[in-house]
Structure formats: structure tokens, C-alpha cells
Structure 1
Amino acid sequence: MISPIHALLMARYNHWQNGLLYEAADALDDKQRNEDRGAFFGSLHTTLAHILWADRVWMNRFAGTPATVLSDDQGKGLAYQDWQTLKTDRATFDETILGWAHDLDEAWLEADFTWWNTTRTRKSTQPAWRLVAHFFNHQTHHRGQAHALLTAFGSATESTDLLVTPADVS
């Protein structure tokens, strides 16, 4: 089982890594960010949008933040198409995740958690700690894809290693 301290570390890591990726992606133009490069979600922009979309889905389930809608289409919908809005929304939502992680407790993580899939066709129950681990793993997985896309454009970010997360990240 993961602990509240682990979740907070991962929220801090998420915040730090997103800042680095968005800074590197900001140096590209819209055409480059939106070019289909064969990633699972096609482009760098859509990959980053998907991460935010999924974070919003899970935070709605975990903390009751505003829900996404089907037309958001896993980050491909209209709400995610403008680069400046995506950057601002990402930074703001990282603060939401940090606040949630600061308030997590062992009892919540140890309990079973029941949720519906995004189309509300399947209800599932698993231990909350496992879902929180999935939440952070999903971010890391797709950020790795975004990092590879940036590298292919000749762009680079700082290290992506968890162990070098700066101590001063919220």
C-alpha cells in the first residue's frame, strides 16, 4: 500500500515535471506541438491534453472537482485545443492535486473506492491506494511519451528522475 507521504511526493513530482515539459513544449510552435508524431495520442499537444483530462477524471472521483464531459474526448475535445489555455489549466490543476495530496490520510487510502467509468456503463471497486498509484503512474507513463516527442524535436528538459525532485516544490 502507498502512504499519504508517497502520494504527496508524487504530486510534487507531477507538478515539477509538468512545469519542465510545458516550458520545453512552449519553445515549439503550434504546428510542431500538433503534428501527429505516431504517439498513442498522436501529437505532443494531445498527449499533454490527455494527461490533464485523465487527471481531471480521477480528481473528480477522488475529490469532487468539476467533472469532465464525454465531448472532452480524452483530451481531444474543444476544451483542450488552445495551447495557452492548456498551459494555464495544467498549472492550476497541479495546485489542485497538490492540495488534495496534502490532505490525504491513511484511512482514506486503505478503504475500498467505488467509481464509474467515464461513460457510466461500468461500476468498479478497488482499494483507493491502488487507484492513487494508477493515477500517478498514468501521468508518468504519458509524460514519458511527451518527453520522447520533445527529444525528437531536439528539445530537452531536465532529468525526469523522481529522486532529483527539488525539495522546494510545493
Structure 2
Amino acid sequence: MPSFDPSRMFRKLAYNNALANHRLLAACSALKPGEFEATRTNFFPSIKSTLNHILTVDWFYVDGLEDGTLGLRAFGIEEPFDDLRSLSAEQAKVDQRLVGVCETLTPERLVSIVEIQREGRIQRERMEDVLSHLFQHQTHHRGQVHAMLSGSSVAPPQLDEFIVDDDARFRGSEIAALGWSEERLMR
């Protein structure tokens, strides 16, 4: 019987995050001119604003998880990308960095303390808690973009087919596009 590895779920969530972003951003690439920046009802006023927010928050937290020094400069420009192509490329990069962080996790590392730069203070949290918060944040805002797509010319894509083995039949093209294998995702 295999032993329990608490790091496995975080690896799977990192791959899930990258796959869901890949699928969502591909759907957004089919938007008609003006729909990406169109004002919509949501926490952020547009698909563009929401996707930029996801990206800058990812930069902030992934840098902290990597013991980096970017800190609050991640938010220096509220919407760093006006076009979806550039934003998608940067999102893919930070998604790969997060996968890299999660690929190196051990039970000991999960309980290590991550230092996160805040305005005038350093926040100290267990790595597993920071990761949980980050995955929740990403899912929350991807759901908002998904809802905004409902009011556009593009049908919202399915975003929850990436955790269980049985869903492999639904993700083959994304796995191939990212250069991954099912074996890599399911270990």
C-alpha cells in the first residue's frame, strides 16, 4: 500500500491551476474585439482587470514561496498587460514557477515558514497555508472570469476536469500543449 504524501495534493493543485489557466486563457483568446476590456458586473470591472489581478497576486505569492525579493513591487502596475497574448505568456511563466515550487515540496517544507512582505511588516505563515490561500484565490477569480464569459460571445470552458484520473479523456490536448504526461500529473 502506498504511503501518504501530503505534498502530492499541492503538486496536483499546481498542475490543476496551470491547466485551468491554460484552458480559460485559450477561451478568452476567442473574445471579439472590445470584449476583453468591456465593463462587466463583477469584483473587478472587466475580464482584463480580473486576469491582471490573478497574475499580479500570483507574482507576489510565488515570489514569496521562492524566498524572493519582489514583494509589493508585484503590484507596482495595477494592470501590467493591456493585451491577452502578453498576459497569457506571463501567466504561463508564473504557473510553471508554482509547479516548480510544488514539485520540490516535502512534508517538512510544507510546515516551514514563508515570509511575505506586507506594508510595513513581514507576515509569517506556514507554506501549506500560503499555498492553500493562493490556490483558493486563483480558483475564486477564475470563477469570476468564467461568469463574465457567460455575458460574452465565448462559452465559458469547463475548468474542473484536472484532478482525478478518470478525467484524463477531457484534458489530452491541454496536457500535450503544456508538454506534460498523464503519468506526471497522477504521481
TM-score normalized with structure 2 length:
0.77
Please say which structure displays the higher CA radius of gyration: 2
Cα pair 1:44 1:149 within 8 Å, conserved: yes
Q: Which has the higher helix share?
A: 1
Q: Which SS does the other structure have where 1:24 is aligned?
A: helix
Relative contact order (C-alpha < 8 Å, sep 6+): which is higher? 1
Aligned equivalent of 2:44? 41
Letter in 1 for 2:96: E
The separation in 2 between residues aligned to 1:24 and 1:33, in whole angstroms, is: 11
CA shift for structure 1 position 154: 4.2
Q: In 2 relative to 1, CA 145–123 (structure 1 residues): closer, same or farther, beyond 3 Å? A: same
| Structure-to-structure mapping, 1:125-136, within 5 angstroms | 125-136=124-135
Q: Which SS does the other structure have where 2:34 is aligned?
A: helix
Cα pair 1:7 1:101 within 8 Å, conserved: yes
The separation in 2 between residues aligned to 1:34 and 1:110, in whole angstroms, is: 40
CA shift for structure 1 position 92: 2.0
Structure 1 consecutive aligned stretches of length 4 or more whose deviation exceeds 6 Å? none
Q: In 2 relative to 1, CA 50–29 (structure 1 residues): closer, same or farther, beyond 3 Å? A: same
The separation in 2 between residues aligned to 1:94 and 1:65, in whole angstroms, is: 16
1:51 maps onto 2:54 in alignment = yes
User: Structure 1: where are the runs of 5+ without partners?
Assistant: none
CA shift for structure 1 position 87: 1.3
Q: In 2 relative to 1, CA 72–96 (structure 1 residues): closer, same or farther, beyond 3 Å? A: same
Aligned equivalent of 2:12? 9
- What is the aligned-residue RMSD (CA, Å)? 2.2
Q: In 2 relative to 1, CA 149–14 (structure 1 residues): closer, same or farther, beyond 3 Å? A: same
| Structure-to-structure mapping, 1:136-151, within 5 angstroms | 136-151=135-150
Cα pair 1:36 1:42 within 8 Å, conserved: yes
Letter in 1 for 2:132: A
Cα pair 1:61 1:115 within 8 Å, conserved: yes
Identity of aligned residues (%): 25
CA shift for structure 1 position 5: 0.7
The separation in 1 between residues aligned to 2:49 and 2:155, in whole angstroms, is: 19
Q: Which SS does the other structure have where 1:124 is aligned?
A: strand
1:105 maps onto 2:110 in alignment = no
CA shift for structure 1 position 106: 1.1
Cα pair 2:62 2:94 within 8 Å, conserved: no
Number of aligned residue pairs = 163
| Structure-to-structure mapping, 1:148-167, within 5 angstroms | 148-161=147-160, 162-163=163-164, 164=167, 166=171
User: Structure 2: where are the runs of 5+ without partners?
Assistant: 172-180
| Structure-to-structure mapping, 1:55-134, within 5 angstroms | 55-64=58-67, 67=70, 69=73, 70-73=75-78, 76=79, 79-117=80-118, 120-134=119-133
Judge which range, 154-163 or 81-90, deviates more: 154-163
The separation in 2 between residues aligned to 1:86 and 1:65, in whole angstroms, is: 21
Q: Which SS does the other structure have where 1:156 is aligned?
A: coil
